[in-house]
Amino acid sequence: MPLKDTPEEWPVNETGTPFRGAKTSVRTDRVVMPDGTVATRDYQVHPGSVAVVALDAQDRVLVLRQYRHPVRHRLWEIPAGLLDVPGENPLHAAQRELYEEAHVKAEDWRVLTDVYTTPGGCDEAVRIFLARGLSEAEGERFEVSEEEADMELARVPLTELVRGALAGDLHNTCLVVGVLSLTAALAGEGLQALRPADAPWPARPFEA
């Protein structure tokens, strides 16, 4: 059997949405198990996200420090954001987030990895990009609000971020997965072997 995740869908004989929020909702499905029993599964319905490991010429990664209320922590993160429009091209969304959160643009884009963040309780899919050839974006900075208005911006050596992730000092999913994936790519077949920025993404199909 090849080592590859495969799509599969068990029958659902009843579904409901007990909560709808501004960006996400909660769905309750009654799922028919292979033995014929029925189990109730509650999970968050999420539009999907993109994130960017922006690597500069000095092998530093652009990171943001932001307050996250659900976990009551101020976390170091990489630029990221929601796929607000159904079918939105994830590359365009990632370029927008890099501009809005860091006022940076990039010349070279590749897909670093695709992940489901918490598949036991949420259907969120995230595509993490690698962006290189960084420069400051033109024009005025994007006006941020709420938690983003208090963000700090830094460029941190990749090796330092890896040490922080392995030491348990850094916890953001996209940051940890992104920097470890980048390190693995550099130690393996190299960055040229990464998928192109417009590679298909079955979890969140998009328009070209």
Token pair listed for 47: 């539009």
Do the beta carbons of residue 169 and residue 74 sit within 8 Å? no
Does the annotation count 136 as an active-site position? no
User: Which of 148, 152, 160, 189 does the annotation list as catalytic?
Assistant: 148
Between the alpha carbon of residue 202 and those of residues 21, 23, 48, 143, 199, the distances in Å are 25, 21, 12, 33, 10
What distance in Å separates the CA atoms of residue 178 and residue 168, rounded to the nearest whole number? 15
Among residues 79, 90, 83, which one has the least CA distance to residue 53?
Answer: 79
Amino acid in the structure at residue 162: V
d(C-alpha 115, C-alpha 30), whole Å: 25
* Rounded-to-integer distance, Cα 171 and Cα 205, Å: 28
Place of tokens 């940076």: 104
Task: State the DSSP H helix or E strand holding residue 98, giving kind and residue range, or none if neither.
Answer: helix 90-102
Looking at the annotation, which residues are catalytic? 148
